[in-house]
Amino acid sequence: MRKSIIIIALFISSSIYSQVAIGKTTTTNNSVSVEFGTGNKGIILPWVSSQNSVTNAVLGTVIYDAADFKIKVKLNASWKDFSIDGNGFANTTLQDALTDVPTAKTVIGSNANTDTTAGILVLSDTNKAMILPIVADAHLNIPNPSPGMMVYDPNTKQFAVFNGTVWSFWTGI
């Protein structure tokens, strides 16, 4: 129920303003599609049974692959691994217990009514970006991260992702 309310709220917000602020009242500027407030919270990526189950992925698609406990991004014709620990462990019982709705989708942006890109959350503007949740020292300040969580650490100026066991830090792709 809560998931449905959040998706409906995102849909309504996006169709009215084409900008979404979550955990705050406004976005930083007009170049932002989605922006998150402060706090020790992150985005949880969609869990997929394996990267091979994601068909027609567009470049830049980010997933949490529950088959090998890795966070991956679609680059060129292949998936790039954003994790470093191939022996990670994740409890997928919560995700597996949810009813999958293959057509579930939220599009945010000026092209929301015409965008046909496959995905759960699609940011359709070509001139706006998403600002990740900003958490200083995420590996210290998020005591119980979920597998697939991602944030931006302003202290180290790095993208931080959690694979279920360890944090990985990235300065660029």
pLDDT for res 88: 52
Q: Are 47 and 66 in contact (CB under 8 A)?
A: yes
Instruction: Give the distance between the most distant pair of CA atoms in the chain.
Output: 44
Number of domains in the chain: 1
Supply the range of the domain harboring residue 102: 2-170
Round to whole Å and give the CA distance between 126 and 95. Answer: 31
What pTM did the predictor assign? 0.63
pLDDT for res 94: 45
CA atoms within 13 A on the CB side of 63: 26
Per-residue pLDDT of the chain (173 residues; tens, 9 = 90+): 566 666 566 555 545 446 888 888 888 878 778 888 777 888 888 788 888 888 888 888 888 888 888 888 888 888 888 766 555 555 444 455 555 566 777 777 777 777 777 777 787 777 777 888 889 998 899 888 888 888 888 888 888 888 888 888 877 55
pLDDT for res 7: 59
Strand pairing partners for 48? 65
- Say which DSSP state 51 is in: G
The model's pLDDT over 83-99, given as tens digits with 9 standing for 90+, comes to: 665 555 554 444 555 55
